[in-house]
Chain A
Amino acid sequence: MSSYDKLIFELSQPGRIGFTLADEEFSNVDYNQFFNEDELRTSELDFPEINETEVVRHYTALSNLNFGVDTGFYPLGSCTMKYNPKINEEIAGNPKFSHIHPEQPIEDVQGTLNLMYDCSEALAEITGMDAISLQPAAGSHGELTGLMIMKAYHLSRGDHHRVNIIVPDSAHGTNPASANMSGFNTVEIKSKANGAVDVEALKAAIDENFAGLMLTNPSTLGLFERNIEEITKIVHEAGGLLYYDGANMNAIMSQVRPGDMGFDIIHLNLHKTFSTPHGGGGPGAGPIGVKARLEKFLPFPVLEKQEEKFVLNYDRPDSIGKIKNYYGNIGIVTRAYTYILRMGRDGLKRASEVAVLNANYMQKRLKAHYHLPIDELCKHEFVLSGNFGLTHGINTIDIAKRLLDFGFHPPTIYFPLIIDQAMMVEPTETESLQSMDKFIDAMIKIRGEIDTDPDILHTAPNTTHISRIDEVEAARNPIIRYMKEEA
């Protein structure tokens, strides 16, 4: 990779411009006439002065410092970094979809409302839920929305005391954070060694304050929760609701549906299972699904079909309220629905089959070389341990950094927390046998280096344009914005 570390501010040259406006006479008006003196900015707007060519070169150079799914294999567990189809982008970029103001009357936007409606129906079918809201902007936002619905449900029954959400210690960090944000207390229960719910621990944690259980299934260790029927029964008999974290939905499409397992509330990550690009951190979309008895609590407005017309219903007295501006990240929903139609029922089924096939293949081949703490049939991902004992002085981080030298994005590391030195591998269905074999070969080579040449791991990565970063110093003396005097 080429080296480039300039900031846009450092390219600035006085007098350069990158953009011009129409109707120049309006840009030269004395604006003082419109405002009081004390309403005007006096500080300097110190933006760069730079022309269009250089802006293009700068961001092109920055893009060359990045690694995406289109660059290479990205087996980042729990993140489902599958291929992002390009037609999705083209469809969503059609101005007939993208150039619509959210306050246009519904008569103007029947096409988009129809698409949202059909996408909701498809998601309900795939998940076995009764009603969908597309409003949440991301997975954790879906969690927050779903938990608010859980709260509204208990309050509507007069159960003000139900304030405890049980979360297994293998859960994503967003689960307890969302519980706290929606006004619940989190009760963490220990999982069994293989990451499954410890049914006895669950029973012991349930008391009169129990509100619900948040579960990821397949679990964050990539294993299907075999006791799901018993867990559902325990939760429901105790008056609680069961929440499904849909981060791992890619393993089970057309094999088992959260609704059929007994889940009451779910969220989906369209940027994982439904192929929309992650954009270096977003935007995502986190639709939620609920069972019929919870439908009245969904965020407003609710999209309804009245004869042949699609309407947005705001008259929802039991609704939790609004949780996002307007209707959701509809541009992302458009991409995801394009994907769903393109794949069809046969394609979605095949996607989950191959996601699981690929993961089991990699697990089988890698366990001959690495410690596999839980040696069972896995679903779409599995977890290795980078703990080789102290003599090697090698940790998971060193393996991850060494993988960069081989041109791979490393697996998710140090999560789930219940596996020491975890490395979570999720190939997804869009990787070929050859690309997985190359990764496995690299892992085997690295395993050999741990014994023969551990230094090469300690110093890795050696081929990227920067080496490992001093994160301690960065956090001790945070520099989080450019300051001119440092230039």
Chain B
Amino acid sequence: MKVLENLLYNEEHEWIQLEGDVATFGITDYAQDMLGGIVYVELPEEEDEVEQGDSFITIESVKAATDVLSPVDGEIIAVNEALDDAPESLNDAPYEAWIVKIRVNDLSQLDNWMDKEAYEAFCAKEA
């Protein structure tokens, strides 16, 4: 299982990369492996305002549809439309295939996110 150095992780197996107040958001290698072959990603629209806990992305595999909840309050400033044509990139390269970029209103909502080592330890415990 691949975990990268410079990202932050949560217990939902999502990653973010923070630049200023903009968080690039995706799912981890562990998550894509659990989901299996991803066939479709329902994306939010740019300029959508989201609140922490809103269901804002749906990831579909053949036999499941998983709602992804927004980790923060903020505004969607970009969506990865390449996923429309190539949802499999979430399986093939989960850390390159970002899903959305969110302008975060309150960075303290990210305080509990883990670094690489902590996340690896968390995954080891999950398995």
> Which A residues form the contact surface with B (CB < 8 A)?
414, 471-472, 475-476
**B89 → chain A closest CB, angstroms:** 11
Chain B residues numbered 3-37 whose CB sits less than 8 Å from any CB in chain A: 36-37
Top-6 shortest CB links A-B: A472-B37, A475-B39, A476-B39, A471-B62, A475-B62, A472-B62
Tell me, in angstroms, the Cα distance from A476 to B89 when the chains sit together.
11
B74 proximal to A (CB < 8 A): no
B63 close to A476 (CB less than 8 A): no
Residues of B58-110 at the interface with A, using a CB-CB cut-off of 8 Å, are 60-63, 87-88
Assembly CA distance A476 to B63 (angstroms):
13
Residues of chain B with a CB closer than 8 A to A471's CB:
62
**12 pairs of residues in contact across A and B, judged by CB atoms under 8 Å:** A471-B62, A472-B37, A472-B39, A472-B61, A472-B62, A475-B39, A475-B40, A475-B60, A475-B62, A476-B37, A476-B39, A476-B88
CA distance in complex: A155, B87 (Å): 45
A414 to B39, CA, bound (A): 20
Query: From B91, which residue of chain A is reached at the shortest CB distance?
Result: A472
Interface string of B38-53 (1 = CB under 8 A from A): 0110000000000000
Contacts of A476 in B (CB 8 A): 37, 39-40, 87-88
Contact A414 B87 (CB under 8 A): no
Smallest Cβ distance from A418 to chain B, in angstroms? Answer: 16
- Asked if A414 meets B88 with Cβ closer than 8 Å, knowing A475-B40, A476-B40, the reply is no
Instruction: Please name all residues of chain A whose beta carbon is closer than 8 Å to the beta carbon of B87 when the two chains form the complex.
Output: 476
Roughly how many angstroms separate A303 CA and B60 CA in the complex, as a whole number? 45
Find the A residue at minimum CB distance from B88: A476
Report how far A475 CA is from B62 CA in the complex, Å.
7
With a cutoff of 8 Å between Cβ atoms, the chain A residues found around residue B37 in the complex are: 472, 476
Task: Please report the C-alpha to C-alpha distance between residue A471 and residue B37 in the assembled complex, in whole angstroms.
Answer: 9
Separation of A475 and B35 alpha carbons in the complex (Å)? 15
Which residues on the A side are within 8 Å of B39 (C-beta)? 472, 475-476
Docked Cα-Cα span, A472 to B88, in Å, equals 10
CB distance from A476 to the nearest CB of B (A): 5
Interfacial chain A residues near B63, Cβ < 8 Å: 414
Q: Which residues of B contact A472 (CB under 8 A)?
A: 36-37, 39, 61-62
A414 contacts which chain B residues (CB < 8 A)? Answer: 63
Min CB distance A371 to B, Å, is 22
Q: A472-B37, A475-B60, A476-B39 are in contact. List 13 more A-B contacts (CB 8 A).
A: A414-B63, A471-B62, A472-B36, A472-B39, A472-B61, A472-B62, A475-B39, A475-B40, A475-B62, A476-B37, A476-B40, A476-B87, A476-B88
Q: Give the residue name and chain of the B residue nearest to A476 (CB).
A: B39
Give the distance in Å from the alpha carbon of A414 to the alpha carbon of B40 in the complex: 22
**Once bound together, how far apart are the Cα atoms of A476 and B60, in whole Å?**
10
Question: How many Å lie between the Cα of A471 and that of B62 in the bound state?
Answer: 7
Q: A475–B38 Cα gap in the complex (Å)?
A: 9
Q: Which residues of A contact B36 (CB under 8 A)?
A: 472
Give the distance to chain A from B25, nearest Cβ to Cβ, in Å.
22
Report the nearest B residue to A472, measured CB to CB: B37
Taken together as a complex, chains A and B put the C-alpha atoms of A476 and B37 apart, in Å, by 9
Assembled-state Cα–Cα distance A414/B64 (Å): 12
Distance between B16 CB and nearest chain A CB, rounded to angstroms: 26
Q: How far is it, in angstroms, between the C-alpha of A332 and the C-alpha of B62 when the chains are bound?
A: 33
Provide the residues of chain A in CB contact with B88, threshold 8 Å: 476
Distance, CA A81 to CA B123, complexed state (A)? 44
A475 to B63, CA, bound (A): 10
Q: Separation in Å of the A421 CB from the closest CB of chain B?
A: 13
Q: Shortest CB–CB separation between residue B67 and chain A, in angstroms?
A: 14
Question: How many angstroms between the C-alpha atoms of A326 and B87 in the bound complex?
Answer: 44
Q: Among the interface residues B36, B62, B87, B88, which one has the most CB atoms of the partner chain A within 10 A?
A: B62
Give every chain B residue within 8 A of A475 (Cβ-Cβ): 39-40, 60, 62
Q: How far is the CB of B22 from chain A (nearest CB, A)?
A: 29
Distance in Å from the Cβ of A177 to the closest Cβ of chain B? 13
